[in-house]
């Protein structure tokens, strides 16, 4: 097959391949589109943890976005971890220069273990500027709490926080329920006109590294192909659920999910 659409991913590299840019490229590819990247940081990590993060200078991030897009125009953009205020500022300027329209922002702020990944200044500009400029915001529960200022303990709190984000200028939001202490899994999509609750079975596994990155890249891919945001969320959630369910069980810690679950190799390539 030939790629359906072109996606630009702005995010950090995960040397272990389960999250970050690596998960994004695999997802976009496994769903039939062409992946391009602007790398914001390089991490050294494995499934048991992160040992170092090296930031790429904002100027270099802008160059990657602008020079790449000038030649091959992306149909959608997925943004992952932006760790500092100057990086967020640079990305906002570059996005406006390339006139990007379909933008999915995964506001990565807190790692699964609870570690804060971005500083206070970055949180402030993310909240005051960037979240208003994107088509869809996909916070997990702790990120939705920080951005909205609402404590989330149950589904009703997720909806309340979602409404607060819409009032702050967010166009569409998908609050991910993976962190809620419940045996059900509910991701909630909201905009000014509708609320949709996507229910799913919770898979009991320690291997959920990169679920958030994978989900937002899958949404960007479906959205770039002309699906509505609501339908893109529904299909992306299904893809992630199947990827968790068929995970390869690699590593001693929180292992990766199976991005390749959509692919059947032709016999001559096996
Ligand atoms: N155990 C699980 N079983 C099934 N689906 C899950 C499970 N954990 C998370 N998900 C799904 O994975 C997607 C990502 O949700 P999650 O809340 O884990 O995001 P996240 O915290 O941003 O992930 P990450 O740790 O990769 O940043 C959501 O659609 C969520 O419902
Ligand atoms: Mg996340």
70-118 confidence digits (pLDDT tens) = 999 999 999 999 989 999 999 999 999 999 999 999 999 876 666 677 8
The domain total for the chain is 1
pLDDT tens sequence across 107-154:
998 766 666 778 899 999 999 999 999 999 999 999 999 999 999 999
Name the 3-class secondary structure at 79: strand
| Residue listed under structure tokens 């509505």 | 228
Note whether residue 98 is domain-resident.
yes
Ligand having the closest approach to the CA of 240: 1
Note whether residue 263 is domain-resident.
no
Burial 179-191 (b: 16+ CB within 10 A, else e): bbeeeebbbbbbb
In DSSP terms, which residues pair with 76 in a beta bridge? 7
Pocket of ligand 1 contains residue 242 by CB under 6 Å? no
Pocket of ligand 1 contains residue 138 by CB under 6 Å? no
In this structure, is the dihedral angle defined by the CA atoms of residues 137, 143, 149 and 153, taken in order, positive or negative?
positive
Tokens of 206: 């320690």
210 as an active site residue: the answer is yes
Query: Who's near 25: CB < 8 A, 6+ residues apart?
Result: 9, 35, 37
Pocket test for ligand 1, best of 176, 188, 232, 256 (most atoms within 8 A of CB): 176
User: What's the CATH code of the domain at 153?
Assistant: 3.40.1190.20
pLDDT of residue 27: 98
pLDDT of residue 183: 81
CB burial of residue 242 (10 Å; 0-12, 13-18, 19+): middle
Note whether residue 243 is domain-resident.
yes
Note whether residue 265 is domain-resident.
no
Set 26, 213, 233, 247: catalytic member: 213
CA distance 36 to 125: 25
CA distance 47 to 35: 24
Pocket of ligand 1 contains residue 211 by CB under 6 Å? yes
Q: Which of 10, 226, 228 is nearest to 98 (CA)?
A: 10
Please compute the mean of the pLDDT values over residues 210-219 and round it to a whole number: 97
Set 18, 177, 210, 255: catalytic member: 210
Note whether residue 270 is domain-resident.
no
Q: Are 50 and 16 spatial neighbours (Cβ–Cβ below 8 Å)?
A: no
Domain that holds residue 12: 6-258
pLDDT tens sequence across 218-246:
999 999 999 999 999 999 999 999 999 99
Ligand having the closest approach to the CA of 80: 2
- Closest ligand 1 atom to the C-alpha of 208? 8
Distance 20 CA to ligand 2 centre (A): 10
CA distance 269 to 5: 24
pLDDT tens sequence across 11-60:
999 999 999 999 999 999 999 999 999 999 999 999 999 899 899 999 99
Note whether residue 248 is domain-resident.
yes
Please compute the mean of the pLDDT values over residues 184-193 and round it to a whole number: 96
């Amino acid at each position: 097959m030939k790629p359906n659409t072109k996606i630009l991913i702005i995010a950090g590299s995960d040397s272990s391949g389960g999250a970050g840019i690596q998960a994004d490229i695999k997802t976009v590819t496994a769903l039939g589109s062409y992946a391009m990247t602007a790398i914001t940081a390089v991490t050294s990590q494995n499934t048991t943890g992160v040992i170092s993060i090296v930031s790429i200078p904002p100027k270099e991030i802008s160059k990657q976005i602008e020079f790449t897009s000038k030649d091959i125009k992306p149909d959608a953009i997925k943004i992952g971890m932006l760790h500092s205020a100057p990086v967020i500022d640079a990305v906002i300027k570059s996005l406006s220069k390339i006139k990007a329209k379909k933008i999915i922002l995964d506001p990565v702020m807190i790692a699964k273990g609870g570690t804060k990944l971005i500083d206070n200044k970055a949180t402030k500009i993310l909240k005051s500027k960037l979240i208003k400029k994107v088509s869809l915001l996909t916070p997990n529960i702790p990120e939705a709490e920080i951005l909205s200022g609402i404590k989330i303990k149950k589904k009703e709190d997720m909806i309340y926080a979602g409404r607060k984000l819409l009032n702050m200028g967010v166009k569409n939001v998908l609050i991910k329920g993976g962190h809620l202490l419940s045996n059900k899994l509910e991701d909630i999509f909201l905009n000014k006109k509708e609320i949709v609750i996507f229910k799913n079975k919770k898979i009991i596994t320690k291997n959920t590294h990169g679920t958030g990155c994978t989900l937002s890249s899958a949404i960007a891919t479906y959205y770039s192909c002309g699906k509505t945001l609501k339908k893109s969320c529904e299909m992306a959630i299904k893809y992630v659920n199947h990827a968790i369910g068929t995970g390869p069980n690699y590593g001693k810690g929180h292992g990766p999910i199976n991005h390749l679950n959509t692919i059947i190799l032709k016999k001559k390539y096996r």
